[in-house]
Structure 1
C-alpha cells in the first residue's frame, strides 16, 4: 500500500429480506418533515410505496413527495426538489429507487439551502457545501451504482450537453441504507444487466492503475469473481436470492471507497460514458459497456502487467506458451464473452448514439490522469468510433 489515506464511511447498512423493518427506528432520529423521492410507478405497483407510507405515517412524519426522478436526473428536476425541500423545511430526504434517485437526493441535500446556481457551484466548479446539508436515507430497489453507500451525485444538463458527477465528502453520504435484495427482483431485466456491468466497471476503474502490491487490488479481484459468478446465475434465474443478494452486496462494496484506498484510480470509461449519456439519455451502465472494450484495448499496452493479472485471476486464462501481452489480450476476450453472456450493450449505435455526436462527446469528456494512459481528444474520438 503506497501513500497515506483516511478511510471513513459512516453509512449504516441494513441488509436482507427483513431490512425494511429497520426504517421505523431510523426515522426516530429525524424531525417530522420527510421528503420522499422516487422514480416512476414501479414502487407503487410492487406495493413498496404503501409499506413505506404506512411506516412514515406510524412514525408521525409529514410526507412531501417528489416523484418522477428520471434515469439521468436533470438540473430542472434538481431545482424542483430543492424548492420542495426548502419550502417545507425538510428534516430528511428518503430516496427510494436505484442510483439515479439516490444521486438526486444527495444533490438536493447539498443545494436546497444554497441561494445561488446549484449546477454552477456543485457540478461545474466542483465546490463543496458550506451551509446546511439535509440528511439522506435510502431504500435500494436496483443494484449497480453503489450510491447507497457513497457521496457521489451525478446530474445532467441537457442545454450544456454535460453529465457531471461530484463526489462529495462523507458528510453527504446517506445516514442509512436499506438493502433488501428481494426488492431488486422487480427491476426490468435490462436494468438488472446494466446494473451488473455498472458495478463491474466501478471495480475496473479502481483496479486498472498502479504497479505496487496493493491489498485493495486483491479485494477488487474477489469482488469481480463473485460478481461474474452470480451474474451468470441471475441472468438465467432472476429471482435466485443467493445470486441477487451477492450481486447487491458486491455492487455496494464496489463503490463505497474501500477498494480505492491506497490507489490512484482511472474513471476514464465513466467520463466517456457520461458524455454519451448527456447526449442520448441512455442507461448509464450500458454506456459504460459500450465503450469499455475499445478503451481497455487502447490502454492495455501501458499497463500490460495488470491486465495479464486480471486475465489470470478473474478469468482463469491459461497462460501456457503465451506472452504477457497475449495473456492480457485473452483476458479482454474473456471479458467480452462474459458481456455477451449477460447481454449488455457493446455498440453505441444501439443507444441512439450517432457519428455526428462524436465531436460533442469528445468536448464533454473530462480527461483524467489516474489510469495507465491519459487520453488525448483524438484518442477519445477513436474510442467512440470503435464503439459504434
Structure 2
C-alpha cells in the first residue's frame, strides 16, 4: 500500500428481503416533508411505490412527488427538482430507483439552498457545496452505479453535449440505503446486463493502475470473479436470489471508495463512455462496454504486468510457455467472450454513433491522469475509431 489516505463511509446499509421495513427506523430522524424521487413509473407497476408510500404515511410524512427522472438525468430535470424542493420546503429527499435517481437526488441536495446555477458551480467549476445540504436516502431497485453508497452525481447537458460526474464528500453521501435484491427481479435483461458491466468496469477502473503489491487489488480480483460467476447464473435465471443478491452487494463495494484506497485510479473508460452518452443518451453500461476493449488493448503495453495478473487471477489463464503479452491478450479475449455471453454492446455503431460524431465526442472526453497512459486528443480519437 503506497501513500497516505483516509477512508470514511457514513452511509448505513440495510440489505435483504425485509430491508424496506427499515424505513420505519430511519424516517423519524428527518423532517416532515419528503420529496419522493423516482423514474418513469415502473415502481408503480411492480408495487414498490405503494409499499414506500404506505411507510411514508405511517411515519406522518408529507410527500411531494418528483417523478420522471430519466436514465441520464439532465440539467433541466435537475433545475426542476430544485424548484420543487424550494417551493415545498422539503426536509428530506428519498430516491426510489436506480443509480440515476440516486445521482439526481444528490445533485438536488447540494443545489436547493445554493443561489448559483448548479451546472456551472458543480460541473464546470467543480466547486464543493458551501450551503446547507438536504439529506438523501435511497431505496435501490436497479444495481450498477454504486450510487447508493458514494458521493457521485452524474448530470447530462445536451445543449453543451457534456455528461459530467462530480464526486462530492461525506456530507452528500446518502444517509442510508435500502437494498432488497428482489426489487431488481423485474428489470429488463438489457438493464440488468448493462448494470452488471457497470459494476465490473468500476472495479477495472480502480484495478488497472499502480505497480505495487496492494491489498485493494486482491479485493478487486475477488469482486470481479464474484460478478462473473453470478452474472452467468443471473442471465439464465434472473430470479435466482443468491446470484442477484451477490451482484447487488458487489455493486455497492465496487464503488464505495474501498478498493481505491492506497491507489491511483484510471477512469478513462468512464470518461469515454460519458462523452458518448452526451451525444447518444445511450444506456451507460453499454457505452462502457463499447469502448472498453479498444481502450484496454491500447494501454495494455504500458501496464503489461497488471494485465497479465488480471488474465491469470481473474480469468484463470494458464501462463505456462507464454510470453507476458500472450497472457495479457488471452485475458482480454476471455473478457470479450464473457461480455458477448452477457449480450453487451460491443461497438459504438450499435449505439448510433457515426464517424462524423467522433471528433466532437473526443473533444468532450475528459482526460484522467491516474492510469497507465495519459492520453492526448489524437489517442482518444484513435480509440473511439477502434470502437466503431
Q: TM-score range by the shorter chain?
A: over 0.9
**Residue of structure 2 equivalent to 1:184:** 184
**Tell me, what secondary structure is at the counterpart of 1:235?**
helix
CA distance in 2, matches of 1:352, 1:184: 28
Using the TM superposition, give the Cα deviation of residue 321 of structure 1 relative to its aligned residue in structure 2, in angstroms: 0.8
**Tell me, what secondary structure is at the counterpart of 1:65?**
strand
**Residue of structure 1 equivalent to 2:362:** 362
1:1-388 correspondence runs (5 A): 1-388=1-388
Using the TM superposition, give the Cα deviation of residue 244 of structure 1 relative to its aligned residue in structure 2, in angstroms: 0.2
CA distance in 2, matches of 1:248, 1:165: 22
CA distance in 2, matches of 1:7, 1:25: 26
Please give the per-residue CA displacement for 1:263-283, whole angstroms capped at 9, x wherever unaligned.
000000000000000000000
**Tell me, what secondary structure is at the counterpart of 1:5?**
coil
Using the TM superposition, give the Cα deviation of residue 85 of structure 1 relative to its aligned residue in structure 2, in angstroms: 0.9
**Tell me, what secondary structure is at the counterpart of 2:282?**
coil
Please give the per-residue CA displacement for 1:93-126, whole angstroms capped at 9, x wherever unaligned.
0001100010000000001111111100011111
Please give the per-residue CA displacement for 1:186-243, whole angstroms capped at 9, x wherever unaligned.
1111000000000000000000000000000000000000000000000010000000
Using the TM superposition, give the Cα deviation of residue 289 of structure 1 relative to its aligned residue in structure 2, in angstroms: 0.3
CA distance in 2, matches of 1:188, 1:97: 14
Please give the per-residue CA displacement for 1:136-164, whole angstroms capped at 9, x wherever unaligned.
00000001000000000000000000000
Using the TM superposition, give the Cα deviation of residue 86 of structure 1 relative to its aligned residue in structure 2, in angstroms: 1.4
With normalisation by structure 2, the TM-score equals 1.00
Please give the per-residue CA displacement for 1:35-82, whole angstroms capped at 9, x wherever unaligned.
000001110000110111110001000001110000000000000000
**Tell me, what secondary structure is at the counterpart of 1:35?**
strand
**Tell me, what secondary structure is at the counterpart of 2:78?**
helix
CA distance in 1, matches of 2:385, 2:40: 34
With normalisation by structure 1, the TM-score equals 1.00
Using the TM superposition, give the Cα deviation of residue 88 of structure 1 relative to its aligned residue in structure 2, in angstroms: 1.3
Please give the per-residue CA displacement for 1:334-371, whole angstroms capped at 9, x wherever unaligned.
00000011111101111111111101101100111100
**Tell me, what secondary structure is at the counterpart of 2:236?**
coil
Structure 1 runs (4+) greater than 6 angstroms displaced: none
Structure 1 gaps, min length 5: none
CA distance in 2, matches of 1:163, 1:89: 29
Structure 2 gaps, min length 5: none
Aligned residues: 388
**Tell me, what secondary structure is at the counterpart of 1:156?**
strand
CA distance in 1, matches of 2:307, 2:89: 51
